[in-house]
Structure 1
Amino acid sequence: MLSTVEQKRLQLSKNTEAEKKSRFGQFLTPERTAAFMASLFPDGTGHCRLLDAGAGIGSLSAAFLDRWRSGGFHFQRVETDAFELDPALIPYLSNTLEKYNHKGDFAAHIHEEDFIQTAVESLSGDLFSLKALGSYTHAILNPPYKKINSNSAYRLALRRVGIETVNLYSAFVALAVALAAPRGQIVAIVPRSFCNGPYYRPFRNFILERAAVRHLHLFGSRTKAFKDDEVLQENIIIRLECGSLQGLVTVSTSTDDTFYDLTYHEHPFDRIVCPDDPARFIHVPTSPEKSAIELSPAIRYTLADLGVHVSTGPVVDFRLKEHLRDMPEPGAVPLLYPGHFSGGGSTWPIKGMKKPNAIMRNADTEKWFFPMGFYCVVRRFSSKEEQRRVVASVVEPRAFAHIPVLGFENHLNVFHINKHGLPEAMARGLAVFLNSTAVDENFRRFSGHTQVNATDLKLMKYPSRDALIRLGEWAMQQEELTQIMMDAKLGSLTG
C-alpha cells in the first residue's frame, strides 16, 4: 500500500504543469528511490543533523526518518533542516515531518528560502546573514536541475565560497559538501552529466578534493527514475563521505526504480577516476571485468601520440544564418550535418533536407572551413533509431567533385591533422575502430549523456598509427563492412 507521502507525490506529479516543474527544476522523488537512497547511509549514533535541500513534500526526509524510527539508525536525536522555495509545497512538507515529532527526540526546521543564498551567507560568514547553518552529519538530496547563467547572481554568490559550476544540482551538492561535518555523509540523486565534460570539471575537482566517493548507483533505463514526470535523463545516485580518505567504491546497478535486478560490485578508485586524467572524469563500470579496450595491449595510444586532433565542428548555423543556403549555388561550399552521413560514408547534397546543404564562402565565413580531404567524423548525438553512442563516418573528397573547402556543423566532431585531412587509410581505420562494439561499450561506461564530446574522444586510448592504417587498408579491400567483421578484425589487432 502506498504511503501518504507517495500518494501526494503521484497526485502532484500528475496535476502540476510542466512549465512549473521546469521553472523550479524540481521533480519529486518516488518512494522506492527515496527508500533506496536512505538505505545507502551507514548506521549512525549520537546527534544527527540532516539536510534536505530542495525538499519538495519531504519524500527523502521521510525515507531517512522511517529508517531511523524502524531501528535502521541508532541516533539519540535527529534535527532536520528542510529547504523548499515553492510555497505550494510547504503545507505538505510540514505535514510529512510533523508525524515524526512525537517522542521529543526530533526537531524539524522548514526554510522557505533560497538554499544557495542562505548557504553561501552562512559559509562566507556574512555579517548580515540571519543565521549560521552549522555543519550537517547527513544530507539527502534530490536537487533542482536547471542551468545557471555565467553572469547570474547564483554564479557570483557561489564564487564567494570557491564553487564554480553550471547547474543548480551541482551547486546544491557542492554546498552540501562544504556544509558537511567531518565524516559527513551525503546521498544525492543527480543527472549523470557531471561525470564528464569540461563544464563540470571545477565541480568534480571540488567534491573529489573534499570527499571520498563511497557508492555509485546507475539506472539502466534513462526514462524510469522519474517516469511519472516523463523525465528523459540519465540519473545516478552518489554517496560521498566528507573529509575521508578514498578507498574502494561500490557500484550498483538496476534497470529501474523497482530495484528488482539490483547488483553490486566493488572497484578500486583508479577504475572510477583514472590517475593520469587531468579532467578527472568519473567512470561508472557496470561489471567487475575490464572492458576489451582496457585489456587490449594494442590500444594504448593517445591522439597526441598519433599526431591527430579532434575538434567540434566550428560552424554554429544560427550565428551564420545569412550565409546559409538550402542547396549549392555559385560561391557556396558544402556545409555538412550529421544527416549527411550514413553507413560510414557521406551523401551530399540531400534535396529536401530540413537543414541547409551549403554555406557561402566569403570573408565572414572563411575561418570556419577545412580544406578538402579525408576526415573521420563522429556525431555528437546519435539518432533515436540508433542504439550506439559512437557513430563514425568518413568524408570522401570524391563525393564533392572539385570543391576546395568544407564546412562542418557544430553537431559533428572532426578528426584532422592541424585542420587538414588525414591519410585515407587512417581515416577509414579510425572509423572502423570507433564503430566497434568494444569502443561503444567502453564509452558507455563513463559517458554521462547521449552526447559525444570532443573532450571524450581526446581522452580515449587508440591503436597505434600503423595499426589504424592497416585497419583502414583492410577496410578498403572489403565490399561491405558488417559489425561482426569490424569487431573480429579489432579483436585480432596487434600493436
Structure 2
Amino acid sequence: MKNDKLIHKKIYNQYFTSKRLLSIISNNVRRFDKSDISIMDPGAGCGSLSISAIKNIIANSKKVRFIKLITYEIDDYLILSLKYNLNALKKFGLMNNVAITYKIINSDFLISKELRKYDLIIMNPPYKKINQSSKYSELLKKYSVNTTNTYTSFMKKALGQLKTEGQLLSITPRSFMNGFYFKKFRKWLFTNFCFNQILVFDSRRLFDGVLQEIVITDFRNKHQNKNICIQYIGKGDNKIGKKIVANYYDVYESTGEVIRLIRNYTDLNEIRIMDTKNSLQDLGVSVSTGPVVRYRQKPVDLSKHYKRGFYPYIFGEHFNDNMELDWPKKKVKKFNYLRMTKENSSLFREESIYVLVKRITAKEDHKRVKAIVLDSNLNYSKIAFDNSINYLFFNNQYNLNIDIAYGLCVYLNSSLFNKMFRQVSGNTQVNIFDLNMLSYPTLEELKLLSSGIHENQNIIDKLVNRVVLNNRSGNYES
C-alpha cells in the first residue's frame, strides 16, 4: 500500500504542503481592503493551501465578505477529499459572515483555456523537468507557457492571470533564480512583475524525497518596488529571522539576471564593493568545462600508470588541500592517463597555466568552490581535463602570469567568494554560467593575493579581506 502511494505521488509529481509551510505561506498573504475577492489554487491537492490562506484572510482582512475560489486538480484520487474540505471551508466562512463559493476544475491548469483574473494565486506546483522534444512541450508552446520545468510554467501562467496589484505566492525550488536554463524565464519575470519578497529556508528537507533549497516567493502585478525583502527561516521552526530590506538592483544582478540571496548588511556592503570590480572577461580569462567524459572512452585508452602515447588526464581526485595538483596520484581511484587517438585528439588541451575548479561538491561540504593551480611543469605537450572539472585559462600572453593564476586560485578558495557563490546558487554544481557572472579582483589585487597560495583558510580570508575589500583590520565576517 505504501509503495502504491509512492508510485501515485511520482506519477503526479506530488509534494504535499506540510502544516509548517501552510502557516508560513498563509501569514504572508496580503491584506485586502475590499469586500469581494477572487482566489486561485492551480494545484490544489486536498485544498490545504487555499484553505489556510482563506482562513488568514478572514482573520485579517475584515472588509472581505465574498470570496470566489477556483481550484485545479488532475488527480481523481484527491477530488473527493478536496470537495469535502472546501464544503467545510464554506461553513467556516458563513460562521464568520463571509460567503465562499468554489469551483473544482479536474484538468491540467497549464493547458486550461480558463483565463480569468485573480486577486490572489497561491500554489505549491509540481516539480518536473519538461522534455523539450516532447508533445507536451509543443502543446505548452501553443499556450505560451513552455519553460524547462513544470513549476516555472505554472508560475508563468499564474502571473499572467493576476489582476492589477494581484499577488502570487509560490512554494518552489530556488533553481529558477540562477543558471542558464532559466535565464529567459527570469528576464520575462523581472521585466513584467514586481518581486516583492522572498522567504528562504535554511533546511533542505521540507518535502519527503526532496533534498534541495526551497523558497517562498511573493510577486505582484505592478511596477517594481525600490526594495526587496529577504527573510530566512531556521531549521525545525517557524521563526522568521531578521528581515533584510535591500535595493532591487543589489538583489537582482541584471548582467546575469540572477537573484542574490543576501543574509545581512555585511553581505550587502561586500556586494556593492565587488560590483565595482572585474568580470573574468575584463581579466582576459575564459572558463570551460573539461571535455572528456570518462565512460565514453575506450577502457584500453585509460590507465593509472604511464604508457607510451598516453597523456595526463586530470580529475577532481587530483586536487590536494594546498591548492596544488597531485598528479600522477599513487593510489588513484580512477585514472592518471588517457591515450590520444584520432577519435579523441580534439579533447586534449595545450599544456599551459590553468586554474582548475571542481564542478561538483557534496551537499554537506562547507566550501562549495574548490580550486587549484596547474602550472606548465608537467613536461607533456598535451593534457586532458575530465568533465567533472572546469578550467580557467588566459586569453592573451600578457596576462599569462603564474602570480595572477595563484591570486585567482586564492580568491576562488576564499570564504568571500564561496559566500558570493552561495548567494546566487543553491546547487552543488559549480557551472560556467555562475563563474562568469560573479565579480573578481583587479589584476594588481590578484598579484597581491598570490602570497596566500598554500596558506590556511584563516590567512587566506584575512588577506582577501584586506586586499579586495580594503578592510585594514583583515577581519572577515562570514
Q: Same fold (TM over 0.5)?
A: yes
Output one character per residue of 1:124-152: Cα deviation in whole Å (capped at 9) or x when no partner: xxxxxxxx341122111111111011112
CA distance in 1, matches of 2:330, 2:75: 50
The question of 1:77 aligning with 2:44 is answered no
Which runs of 5 or more structure 1 residues have no equivalent in the other structure? 1-11, 123-131
Output one character per residue of 1:365-390: Cα deviation in whole Å (capped at 9) or x when no partner: 22222211221111122235521111
CA distance in 1, matches of 2:424, 2:181: 16
Cα distance 1:194–1:90, how it changes in 2: closer, same or farther (>3 A)?
same
Cα distance 1:203–1:381, how it changes in 2: closer, same or farther (>3 A)?
same
CA positional deviation for 1:350: 4.0
Asked if structure 2 preserves the Cα contact closer than 8 Å seen for 1:185 and 1:241, the reply is yes
Counterpart selection for 1:372 from 351, 365, 371: 351
How many residue pairs are counted as aligned between the two chains? 460
What is the Cα-based RMSD across aligned positions, in Å?
2.6
The question of 1:341 aligning with 2:315 is answered no
CA positional deviation for 1:155: 2.4
CA distance in 2, matches of 1:404, 1:74: 77
Output one character per residue of 1:187-245: Cα deviation in whole Å (capped at 9) or x when no partner: 0011111111010011111211221001101111222x22xx14211011100001333
Letter aligned with residue 224 of structure 2: L
1:299-338 correspondence runs (5 A) = 300-320=277-297, 325-328=302-305, 329-338=307-316
Asked if structure 2 preserves the Cα contact closer than 8 Å seen for 1:33 and 1:257, the reply is no
SS in 1 for 2:210: coil
Cα distance 1:15–1:136, how it changes in 2: closer, same or farther (>3 A)?
farther
Asked if structure 2 preserves the Cα contact closer than 8 Å seen for 1:48 and 1:79, the reply is yes
Asked if structure 2 preserves the Cα contact closer than 8 Å seen for 1:46 and 1:74, the reply is yes
1:44-443 correspondence runs (5 A) = 44=32, 45-72=34-61, 74-102=63-91, 103=94, 105-118=99-112, 122=113, 132-223=114-205, 225-226=206-207, 229-256=208-235, 258-274=237-253, 277-291=254-268, 293-294=270-271, 296=273, 300-320=277-297, 325-328=302-305, 329-343=307-321, 344-350=323-329, 353-384=332-363, 386-398=365-377, 400=378, 402-418=379-395, 422-443=400-421
Cα distance 1:133–1:491, how it changes in 2: closer, same or farther (>3 A)?
closer
- Residue equivalent to 2:476: none
CA positional deviation for 1:260: 2.4
CA distance in 2, matches of 1:488, 1:352: 35
Letter aligned with residue 343 of structure 2: D
CA positional deviation for 1:342: 2.4
Cα distance 1:448–1:385, how it changes in 2: closer, same or farther (>3 A)?
closer
Asked if structure 2 preserves the Cα contact closer than 8 Å seen for 1:375 and 1:422, the reply is no
- Residue equivalent to 1:453: 431
Report the TM-score when normalising by structure 2: 0.89
CA distance in 2, matches of 1:208, 1:321: 47
Cα distance 1:235–1:175, how it changes in 2: closer, same or farther (>3 A)?
same
Letter aligned with residue 82 of structure 2: L
Report the TM-score when normalising by structure 1: 0.86
Asked if structure 2 preserves the Cα contact closer than 8 Å seen for 1:377 and 1:393, the reply is yes
Cα distance 1:57–1:245, how it changes in 2: closer, same or farther (>3 A)?
same
- Residue equivalent to 2:449: 471
CA distance in 1, matches of 2:237, 2:341: 58
SS in 2 for 1:348: coil
Which shifted more, 76-85 or 480-489? 76-85
Cα distance 1:434–1:183, how it changes in 2: closer, same or farther (>3 A)?
same
CA positional deviation for 1:39: 1.6
Counterpart selection for 1:37 from 1, 22, 25: 25
Output one character per residue of 1:244-284: Cα deviation in whole Å (capped at 9) or x when no partner: 3333211111113622253212111011113xx33311112
Paired-residue identity, %:
28
Which shifted more, 441-450 or 288-297? 288-297
- Residue equivalent to 2:475: none
Letter aligned with residue 255 of structure 2: P
Which shifted more, 329-338 or 450-459? 329-338
- Residue equivalent to 2:467: 493
Asked if structure 1 preserves the Cα contact closer than 8 Å seen for 2:58 and 2:64, the reply is no
Output one character per residue of 1:279-306: Cα deviation in whole Å (capped at 9) or x when no partner: 3111121113345643547971111111
Output one character per residue of 1:82-115: Cα deviation in whole Å (capped at 9) or x when no partner: 2222222222222221211233821222222112
Which shifted more, 190-199 or 177-186? 177-186
Asked if structure 1 preserves the Cα contact closer than 8 Å seen for 2:275 and 2:439, the reply is no
CA distance in 2, matches of 1:346, 1:159: 48
CA distance in 2, matches of 1:382, 1:139: 37
CA distance in 2, matches of 1:355, 1:78: 62
